[in-house]
Amino acid sequence: MPPAQQHRIASPHPRARAAMSLVALFATLAAAGCDRPAAPAASPPRPAQVVFQEWRAIRDADKRLPLAEEIVRDRHLVGLPPERVVQELGKPNPRRMSPEYGQIKYVVGPNAPDDLWLCIHVKDGSVTSAVIRSD
């Protein structure tokens, strides 16, 4: 058999080469993925007392939004009596608002056309939920 004909017979079809390349690529990626350590677990919530202490240390209410988000996310207030909330977070804003804003409210964002509020809902003598809402 002439050498040119041997080469043509031994050489795989272009589609077969592409398929083999894809298989090799997937095998390499799978092997690389197996060697990678697992992603670290999300850090546990900080203790409520630590968050409350930071809250009290911030005098400018406009800078409390990150802590308010943490309080809502980690449910630090749920189950507390209203008196304890006031003890931990300080005097709430006395502004009268609709019931959707809860019984206890704190401004937590920059003064803008729509203030952000930490709205705390109380039922049967304890906090049932806390959310952040705009005016």
In the sheet that 126-134 helps form, which strands lie side by side, from edge to edge? 104-107, 116-123, 126-134
Shared-domain flag, residues 61 and 107: yes
Position 26 scores a pLDDT of 55
Alpha helices in the chain (DSSP H): 3-10, 14-35, 48-57, 65-73, 82-89
In the predicted structure, residue 11 carries a pLDDT above the cut 70: no
Shared-domain flag, residues 7 and 73: no
Shared-domain flag, residues 92 and 70: yes
Cα torsion at 48, 49, 52, 54 (round to 10°)? -110
Q: Is residue 19 part of a domain?
A: yes
Q: Is residue 53 part of a domain?
A: yes
Residue with tokens 């003598």: 125
Shared-domain flag, residues 95 and 130: yes
Q: Is residue 42 part of a domain?
A: no
Q: Is residue 41 part of a domain?
A: no
Position 66 scores a pLDDT of 94
Shared-domain flag, residues 88 and 120: yes
- Parent domain of 124: 48-134
Position 33 scores a pLDDT of 52
Question: Binning pLDDT at 50, 70 and 90, where does residue 32 land?
Answer: low
Shared-domain flag, residues 99 and 127: yes
Total number of domains constituting the chain? 2
pLDDT tens per residue across span 69-119: 999 999 999 999 999 999 999 999 988 888 989 999 999 987 777 889 999
Shared-domain flag, residues 56 and 20: no
pTM (2 d.p.): 0.67
Region 60-66: mean pLDDT is 90
Q: Average pLDDT of the chain?
A: 82
In the predicted structure, residue 35 carries a pLDDT above the cut 80: no
